[in-house]
Amino acid sequence: MEHRTMQRQQGQGMMEYIIIVALIAVSAIGVYAMFGRTVRNQTAGLANEISGQDASAQISAAGSAASSAATAANTSKGMGGYNNNQDSSGGASTPGTALIPYTGGH
> Is pLDDT larger for residue 82 or for residue 39?
39
CB atoms within 10 A of CB 45: 20
| DSSP-assigned letters across all residues of 12-57 | HHHHHHHHHHHHHHHHHHHHHHHHHHHHHHHHHHHHHHHTT---HH
Q: How far apart are CA 76 and CA 25, in angstroms?
A: 24
3 pLDDT higher than 70: no
Q: What is the pLDDT, as a whole number, of residue 25?
A: 94
In the chain, what are the domain boundaries? 2-73
Q: How far apart are CA 77 and CA 79, in angstroms?
A: 7
pLDDT in tens, 61-78: 888 888 887 787 777 666
